[in-house]
Each structure stands twice: as structure tokens, then as C-alpha cells.
Amino acid sequence: MKDALFQPMRLGKASLKNRIVMPPMTRSRATQPGNIANDMMATYYAQRADAGLIVAEGTQISEMGQGYAWTPGIYTQEQIAGWKKVTDAVHAKGGVIYAQLWHVGRVTHPANIGGQQPISSSALKAENVKVFIDDGNSAPGFVDVVEPREMTKDDIRHVIGEYRQAALNAIEAGFDGIELHAANGYLVNQFIDSEANNRTDEYGGSIENRLRFLGEVVEAMTNAIGAERVGVRLAPFTSLNGTVDKSPVETYTAAAALLNKLNVVYLHIAEVDWDDAPETPPAFKQAIREAYKGTIIYAGRYNAENGAKAIAEGIADMIGFGRPFIANPDLPSRIMNDYPLAPHDPETLFGGAEKGLLDYPEYQTR
């Protein structure tokens, strides 16, 4: 059954050696000041280049788009040059790598965005949400987010332009394509989900209106770099960072149909993966498959067996394995050969240096 994970495929113009995806995972190790991708990150991703596709960690498109300390950006020449080291290292190992373009919207604190007030679809604070800051005055740590201001039409146009430029910057940095982060309660998600958006203009209210920002961002990026290099990540049933939709099946089936019309190269569905989370309804997965005709990636509670089954049944084309990739740089080989998986150390997930990033070995056969 696991053979389904190892069938090669095409993604846009790229040839993928398998259907195993390393999905985006924040590791908070960008060089400071400047939030610049570095040699350590290049080694980390190159170690994992046997994935069919790597989607690099969330990368802010502007200073205002940053939610957490020490995450990388892609809006300065220094940041582009830093990412070029990463993409060169991955390509040298025969890998394919996409950038995940990220604007957090309201999920931040003034300390992370130059003292400014965060922006969002609406002036609604994300309740019970904390972000990590390093303001240089006190010890780095978690603080509550603050109330954002509602974006004006000019703000919306400006941010769409930032997404477009970030897509161009990603291609300049050597990425094979980009993934729009429209999931997990960040800015695009704050427009999509009904409970985070109380606008009364053409960007709020109906499902069509709440999907308008998503569509305009995607269109700007596909016009800039080609639809065959643009994927989108959605999280239909999550309540992460305070975004909830009152009718997620209807909303996200419509989103899939919109992305089909815009001809994006893939749709990446992040399923809720905490232990007692509800399963994504099978009927919803079927509806997504019918609404969107391109490559579909699912990530969440997958192992080799149920991931291969999802591909064999035609629900998914590729499967993302997040946490297993942290401690198992050779994950495709381990899956192929039934080698045991190493556990990751939760203490070294965010921040720090090489420990917990580069020091997980490949499996040694005796």
C-alpha cells in the first residue's frame, strides 16, 4: 500500500520523486537583526531534500506581516540572498522547494512590527492568543496579542501588492514556487472565516465577499509568476488563533472552486491534528476533490499507512508529514524501509541554534 507514496509525479513544471511533502513548520532561527535565512537553515532543508516537495517555513512578506520573533522574511535583498543559499542547497541534493508566504494580520504584537498597530479584516481581537516577542528590553517571551485596526481599501491594495512582490522575490531567491498561507487564523483566513470578519463592504458578509481577498491575492501572484508556481494552504476546520467559520463545509468548498477557477497548482489542506480533534468529514474531502481539479495535499494526522490509502483512494495526491520530518531527515527512506521513527525534542522546536535542528541523524542499519 505504501507504494502509493512513492509514485513520481509532476507539479507544474517540476518533477517530484515521490508524493511525500515536508510541510511548513516554524523553527524561529533566522539571523538577527534582519530576519534572514542562513547557512544553518540551508543545511536543515538540504538534509530533508528527499521529500518529493518541501514547503519552507512561514516567511513574512513585510515587517507588518511578522507574528513571532526570529522568523524569516522575504522583503529585503538580504533576505532574498539568505533564501538563495537555502534553495541552492536543496537543489544541489535534487530537491524541490516552495516558499510559504505569510502575513499574520492580527496575530502579532506591536513589538514584532516596529511599534505599529496590527491590521486585520476587522477590528476584532483574537481572544486567548499569545505570540512570542523579543523587544530587546526584557527576556524574550509570550505576550497577548492586541486589538487590530480594520484594513482600509488602500491597506488591502497595498498588502495585495506586497504578496505580489513577495512571490517575485521568492522566484528571485530560487524557489520552485510559492504557497500562500491562507490557513491557521492568519490574515487571509481572517477575511475568509465568518467569525473573524464583520465587514459590511465587498470584503465581508457573504461567502463570495469573504473569499474576495483570497482571490485577489492569488490573482496578483499568479499574474506575477504563473499559476503553475502558486499553491494555497487552507485549514477549513481549525480554530487556531481564534478564527472560526460558522459553515466551513460551504465556505471551503466554495474556496476550492475559486482556486480551481484561478488554476493554482495545488491545494494544501491542513487538518486539525490534536489528539481528540474530530475527523475531517469524508463527504467534505469528496466535495473538495470535485470542486478542485489540481493537485491536492493533505497534512495532519497521517502515517505511512493512512497517507498511502488516501492517495490510493483518490482523495489526495500528496501527503504532508510535519513533525516526523523534524527528527527524521531521511523520512522517505524510513517509510520505504519500515525503519522506526525517532521522536523530536519539543524543547528545541523554536529558537536556539543547531541543537534540535541539524543533529537528528539518518537511520543507521547495523
CATH of the domain at 343: 3.20.20.70
* Residue 278 domain-assigned (yes or no): yes
Residue 21 in any domain: the answer is yes
Say whether pLDDT at 272 is over 90. Answer: no
361 located within any domain: no
Residue 138's pLDDT is 85
Task: Give strand pairing partners of 11.
Answer: 14
Q: How many domains does the chain have?
A: 1
354 found inside a domain:
no
Answer with the residue of higher pLDDT: 278 or 146: 146
Reported as a pLDDT band with limits 50, 70 and 90, residue 8 is very high
Q: Is residue 305 part of a domain?
A: yes
Burial-class residue 339 by CB neighbours within 10 Å (0-12, 13-18, 19+). Answer: middle
Strand partners of residue 142: 132
Q: Kindly list the catalytic residues.
A: 186
Instruction: Read off the pLDDT band of 279 (50, 70, 90).
Output: confident
The answer to whether residue 222 sits within a structural domain is: yes
Give mean pLDDT, residues 172-183: 99
Arithmetic mean of pLDDT, 39-53: 99
Query: Is 355 inside any structural domain?
Result: no
Over the stretch 100-159, which tens digit does the pLDDT of each residue have?
Answer: 999 999 999 999 999 999 999 999 999 999 999 998 888 899 999 999 999 999 999 999
**pLDDT, position 273:** 80
Is residue 262 packed enough to be buried (19+ CB in 10 Å), middle (13-18) or exposed (0-12)? middle
Q: Which three cell numbers stand for residue 253?
A: 468548498
Alpha helices (runs of H) in the chain, residue ranges in sequence order: 39-47, 77-92, 153-172, 187-192, 207-210, 212-225, 248-261, 282-291, 304-312, 323-327, 331-337
Range(s) of the domain holding residue 225: 2-348
Question: pLDDT at position 286, please?
Answer: 98
Q: What is the pLDDT of residue 10?
A: 99
In this prediction, residues 283-297 reach a mean pLDDT of 98
* Listed residue (174, 169, 258) closest to 219, CA to CA: 258
Helix (H, G, I), strand (E, B) or coil at 248: helix
How much is the mean pLDDT over the chain?
97
Tens of pLDDT, residues 308-328? 999 999 999 999 999 999 999
What is the structure's pLDDT at 1?
76
pLDDT at 366: 61
Residues 252, 234 contacting (CB under 8 angstroms): yes
Would 224 be classed as within a structural domain? yes
Q: Please tell me which residue, 332 or 301, carries the higher pLDDT value.
A: 332
